[in-house]
Amino acid sequence: MEFIGYFGAVFEPAAFGLLLVGTIGGLILGATPGLSPTMAVALLIPFTFQLAPAHGLILLGAAYTSTVAGGAVSAILLKIPGAPANIATTLDGHEMAKQGRGAEALQLSFLASAVGGVFGVLLLIFLTPVLARWALAFGPSHLFWLAILGVTVIGSLDSRSVVKGLLSGCIGLWLATIGFDDIMGAQRFIFHPALGGGINIIAALIGLFAIPQVLNMFAKGRQPLGGEVIKVQPHSLGASMRELFRRPRALSIGTMTGSIIGLIPGVGGQIAGLVAYDQARKFSSERDKFGTGHSEGVIAAESANNAMVGPSLVPLLTLSIPGSPTAAVLLGGLLIHGIFPGPDLFNNYPDVAWTFINSMLIGQILMCIFGLYIAGLAARVAQVPQSVMAAVVLGLAVFGSYSVQSSMGDVYVMAALGVMMFFLERFGFSAAPLVLGLILGPIAEANFIQGSMIANATDGLAVYFFSGTLNIVLIATVVLSIVYSAWMEIRTRRFIEKQEAMA
């Protein structure tokens, strides 16, 4: 119950002000189609340099939480999900809006998000210290395999092609080796002066997540806005609350599914929302109503995608392995303040860790309160033409990456990586494993070198890295994740071929 002692820090004026800014800004950004939570958090990192570490993390955490929930606004009122996590919300949410129940759908989505989100953060609070204590027993070989696991799980689960996902992870691991070697001081792959200090993680994150989105908006041309905002009729909040708790099955299925999926690295909010929606329909006595504007659909999808936010940070805070692209961006936010997450985080920086986690708990409640009132404004922002959004994001990316170290080199790296990622994504490569490779590369290398030194002085490399229960479990998980994803890919391909043959 150590976390209770740090609640006061969240209510300090500066911290609470940032929590409000992050929450309101996140809700508006989340409602904007094309601005993913990961990109929103990446673009916010430069604004946290001059803040205290805890304050910077409060801003990023609040933005993460509320962008996921804010995506429901455009999903319900425009039938355009603000983020992939809100895809399932459109199925019933937009139908409700078309029937004149838009306000009810919005209220249910924010209330369900808050319930799911609070449960997810509570899981983070109670699970993290236990796992962190357990992680103290990890040696260099285990940490090396964990870093590799982080890349392979996301590489295989997050991509439509296992090989291309793993290859993206490899590119990221290679990019992480650019610069001077830590032990020998040797130059590695420095083919431009801008790369002398290695690739700056923040500039790379901005480039990899923001620039492909900008170029995708350009590629659509002078496109008018697809959807039309549906007018919202007033609806009693009390009635929505009663409706929410009249549907405990959908709420609990969404919350539990989201929490469990959040703990699995690489799976993400999109899967959480869709799986919860599907499960809620299967277990519902009114399953025929799903897809026609049924409240259970909105409740299950929205409680799931916010419930996964807290648990998705557990691997990051305990093992320094980001479980999702957004967690990887948050890791970047920690690293710029010299804070390295992992088993020692709660011993070395308990104030930062607990203030951040507590702020996410308070943030869920603020997100619900403000979400209900600014949904109308957020929906109007969601109608901003893509041309404006593309130009705004490009400007923010350039200024943000420059402000990291006042270096044009970082701007060039940001742009080069972003353009490269846009073209790679068009051919099935994925940004998430590349980012994880870039972030986990130094962790993997440091532990590999350290492990090699221990191995050379003891039983040799093979025994050190491939024996012991924990090593074997981690290696087996790496192999299993790859085999499972390859099997799923083959099954999907066969299904598509069968469908094509039948058509």
Partner 1 sequence: MSRLQHVIPSGIVALVGLWVAYISYTAQPAEAFLFPRLISTVFVVLSLWTFGKACLGWSRVGQGLSREMLVNLVPGLLVALVYIFWAARTVGFYTSTTVAFFILLSLYDPAPHSEVRSWIRRIIITAGFMAVMYGLFAQLLRVYTPREVFF
Binding site for partner 1 (CB under 8 A): 46-47, 49-50, 159-161, 163-164, 166-167, 170-171, 173-174, 177, 181, 183-184, 186, 188-189, 214-215, 217-225, 385-388, 390-392, 394-396, 398-399, 402-403, 406, 408, 411-412, 415, 419, 423-429, 444-445, 448-449, 452, 493
Q: Please count the CA atoms within 13 angstroms of the CA of 277 that sit on its side-chain side.
A: 26
Yes or no: say if 472 and 145 are a contact pair by the CB < 8 Å rule. no
Shortest Å, Cβ 191 to partner 1: 10
Cβ proximity to partner 1: between 97 and 393 the closer is 393
Q: Which two tokens stand for residue 490?
A: 């083959």
Give the Cα separation of 18 and 62 in Å (integer). Answer: 8
Q: How far is the CB of 279 from partner 1 (least distance, A)?
A: 28
- Based on CB atoms, which residue is closest to partner 1, 126 or 466? 466
Of 57 and 396, nearer to partner 1 (C-beta) is 396
Q: How far is the CB of 47 from partner 1 (least distance, A)?
A: 7
Is 195 or 353 the residue whose CB approaches partner 1 more closely? 195
Q: Is the dihedral of CA 279, 282, 286, 291 positive or negative?
A: positive
- H runs (alpha helix) in 190-323: 201-219, 237-246, 248-263, 268-283, 295-307, 314-319
8 A C-beta contact, residue 343 and residue 132: yes
Residue 402 buriedness (CB in 10 A; 0-12 / 13-18 / 19+) = middle
Minimum Å gap between C-beta 147 and partner 1 is 11
The nearer residue to partner 1, 93 or 179, going by C-beta atoms, is 179
Sequential DSSP letters for 141-162: HHHHHHHHHHHHHHHHHSSSSH
Closest distance of CB 444 from partner 1, Å: 7
Tell me how far, at minimum, the Cβ of 160 lies from partner 1, in Å: 5
Our CB check for partner 1 shows the closer of 111 and 416 to be: 416
CB of 106 to partner 1, least distance (A): 27
Interstrand relation of 187-188 and 179-180 (parallel, antiparallel or unpaired): antiparallel
d(CA 486, CA 191): 36
Query: Cβ distance 178 to 10 under 8 Å?
Result: no
Nearer to partner 1, 168 or 279 (CB): 168
Dist. CA 343–CA 97, nearest whole Å:
46
